[in-house]
Structure formats: C-alpha cells, structure tokens
Amino acid sequence: MPYLGNEVAPLVQALEGKELKLDSDGDSSIQASTDDTVVFKTNGSTAQTIDSSGRVLTPSIPAFFAYLSSDQTMSIGSRDLVEFNATDFDTGSDYDNTTNYRFDAPVTGVYQFNSVLNPDYSSGSNTRVFAYFYKNGSAFASFAHETLYDNDRGQVAGSITMKLNANDNVAVYVYLDGGSASVLNGASLTSSAGAPSHFSGFLVG
C-alpha cells in the first residue's frame, strides 16, 4: 500500500477499492470500496463512512442513553443525584451507570444532553420538583420545575448544549421541596410504557 509520509503525492488517486495508508504504521487510512462507500480510519478504527447516497456515519462519536430501571426514592429538601443505572447504548463507555451515574467527556468539544424525569408524589401537601444539569459537581442549569399535588404523577424534561473540556463530567440532580413518600419512576425499556426517567447525550463536535 502506498505510504505518503512527507512526500508530495497527487490529491486524486485511483484507489480501485484498495486502502490508502496515510501514516507509517498503516493504522490511518482512506478506502474507497467497490460499493461506492468511502471509509476513513484512524488508529485502526473506523472514524467515518460516506455511502453512495452521501450519507455520513460517525460510529465512534461518544453517545449514550441511560435510564432508571426501577424506582428511586427522592429526599425531601435536598438535591439527589439521579442514579440512571442502566443503558441502552454507551458508545465509548463514557457514562458510568454503577458508581457516579454521570457522563465523563472523553474529548474537548460541544455536547448535547437531554433528560426526562417522572416523579410520583404520593402523599403530603402540594410541593415543587426541580431538576438540574450538574457540571463537575456543581449546578450548571436548572432545566425544569413542576408543582405536584397529593397522589400526583408529573413529568419534567429539559435539554442543554454545553462546552466541555476533556474529563469534565455531567450528571442530573433532582430536588423536592416538601411532602413525603415520593419516588422517581423507573422501569425497563421493554415495559409497556418504556423507561419513564432517562438521560442521554452525544458529542456534537
């Protein structure tokens, strides 16, 4: 396979389905396959593909979908970390669903995050529920609040675009300002209504 190195080479080459190696150890390359798909690789992994219709896929982009697989009790008068303990997918393994329940940014960039919480307020006087995106252990933005009544079930949802440095982390917290006996509803993705409380995100670029 041709290795360009520091040599001057034509920008257009007839690859004929072969792989053009771009570095000395051969793990970064461009390949034009016979089905009109162009594949870009770096460090031996596919970074991007462009198919014959011009559709671009980036299979290594960090992305995740996490959810509560069972109910989580909410404290009264304090902010609780929402422990999204299950994932449908976690490209790059950057979401921790066992200990810290947060996303750790693998690279510096702009990220999009989304969350939906389904609080179930079963008893007590009327109360309010607040939800927050936390960055590096501190509140970054309050994304929703809703007044709940006795024996009421609500829903709070929000999304945010954030600039993160590598190793910054993002989590979701919830706050209930009164009442008692309240939970965030959780369930499996295969339940009749799907997962009612979830957290997702991805690298925009």
Whether 128 has a pLDDT exceeding 90, the answer reads no
State the Cα–Cα distance between residues 86 and 77, nearest whole angstrom: 26
- Token pair of 203 as six digits: 């690298």
Which residues form the domain of 54?
1-60
CATH number at residue 166: 2.60.120.40
175 and 102 part of one domain? yes
- Token pair of 193 as six digits: 């209504």
125 and 196 part of one domain? yes
125 and 186 part of one domain? yes
Residue ending a domain, choose from 60, 76, 99: 60
75 in Cβ contact with 119 (< 8 Å): no
198 in Cβ contact with 69 (< 8 Å): no
Mean pLDDT score, 133-154: 83
Task: Supply the pTM of this predicted model.
Answer: 0.80
pLDDT recorded at residue 123:
59
State the Cα–Cα distance between residues 18 and 49, nearest whole angstrom: 15
Q: Report pLDDT digits (tens) over 25-71.
A: 766 667 676 577 888 788 777 878 888 788 888 888 999 999 999 99
* Number of helices (H), then strands (E), in the chain: 0, 20
